[in-house]
Structure 1
């Protein structure tokens, strides 16, 4: 790491956590800044969830109905993303596959989970096709493709959505900022954007979105009331 990179990283940390860099020996003052910072961040994510619920709640319920129809027809869910979004995709797949309790398990897979496949594709062909090639091999018309990105600009997600669209899969995108390149794709059936410039708030909001998607999908599959009547259940906004 160069000196410039080190200084840049320190500046970024100081902007996020100024109380850690304050030249003060007043513990009470530092703790108050920690409290205020925590409250502010909680307020940001609660407000972001409220915005998304008001704007996208009806579309999310509609998306869940279509996902339920795919599962009822024997379809499977394939989730994918890069970096932290790969971890979120894995969590999303686990939520559908192993929800716990009496909830119905649904077939779901994380495409970044198999390191042998991922590294082979990256090494032999290129990272841009790492998800598209898997969807080409496994995806069918009754299946669901869910891609997560904070920026919305990941080239391998764009390629994956285009491949999924060609195969007639139900395509669902989760992005941040203003949606990036994902907002320009005709191959995404449902795009849910967390309108924030904070990666932390975006990922927190996306976690809420896919939790709601799972809940509404299972309700659409098994409950007497439709997803319209339960579309509010998981929008915990504080």
Structure 2
């Protein structure tokens, strides 16, 4: 999450609110507008990529910082364990920001920009998938991870906000939430909704409750 930058960006949407209830309504309306603009074909491609990884026994690794990292943890939990069905291949999802010992050791020893890269050098296999989330699309440690995956022909999927940043050009499948710079909160709201959308899809699919 940001601080002053985000407040300045959001001010343009909400400065006319005359009460807390009016503010809440404006925020929800704005979030609804962002959701309506999403590329559902990109979402479908992300779902298909994750399912294909499951079919071949591969792992999906999440890379993200800050609030997006918290959402990535939620993603990995929901999709790995919330969708588990005994007679179906599991979705293997691992969030690379979940181990504080690893993060602090790598950050201290080789630099914060390398905390994901080094883990990928240890874990990533050719059939795996890298799922990257960055609101700005310009976080150095996320970009290094994406570049490593690209150099090793590993599929990359991910989400960005703002203008998409440099990450947009490093993703095989890109879901973009276009907002003015600084609007971290609404973009992260959309990231979290994407988690629950995918969880619900995979859960229903594995229970045989979808028509397709």
> Could you say which TM-score interval applies, normalised by the shorter chain?
0.7 to 0.9
| 2:176 pairs with 1:190 | no
Q: Who wins on radius of gyration, i.e. which is larger?
A: 1
- Contact 1:80/1:89 (<8 A) preserved: yes
Shift in Å at residue 196 of structure 1?
1.4
Distance in 2 between the 1:224 and 1:100 partners? 13
- Contact 2:83/2:202 (<8 A) preserved: no
Q: C-alpha deviations, 1:172-200, integer Å up to 9, x for none?
A: 12110110111232xx2111111113211
- Contact 2:120/2:145 (<8 A) preserved: yes
Q: Which residue of 2 aligns with 1:153?
A: 138
- Contact 1:68/1:218 (<8 A) preserved: no
CA RMSD in angstroms, aligned pairs only: 2.9
Residue 45 to residue 147, structure 1, CA distance change in 2 (3 Å): same
Q: Which residue of 2 aligns with 1:62?
A: 45
Which of 17, 28, 34 aligns to 2:20? It is 34
Aligned residues: 202
TM-score by length of 1: 0.74
- Contact 2:158/2:174 (<8 A) preserved: yes
Q: Which residue of 2 aligns with 1:173?
A: 158
Unpaired runs of 5+ residues, structure 2, are none
Distance in 1 between the 2:205 and 2:121 partners? 28
- Contact 1:132/1:164 (<8 A) preserved: no
* Partner SS, residue 158 of structure 2: strand
Q: Which residue of 1 aligns with 2:71?
A: 88
Residue 142 to residue 218, structure 1, CA distance change in 2 (3 Å): farther
Q: Identify which range, 214-223 or 32-41, moves more after superposition.
A: 214-223
**1 or 2 for the larger relative contact order (CA 8 Å, sep ≥6)?**
2
- Contact 1:80/1:90 (<8 A) preserved: no
Distance in 1 between the 2:130 and 2:203 partners? 17
Unpaired runs of 5+ residues, structure 1, are 1-7, 20-29, 230-238
Which of 41, 45, 49 aligns to 2:31? It is 45
Distance in 2 between the 1:171 and 1:133 partners? 17
Residue 101 to residue 137, structure 1, CA distance change in 2 (3 Å): closer
Shift in Å at residue 168 of structure 1?
3.0
- Contact 2:45/2:173 (<8 A) preserved: no
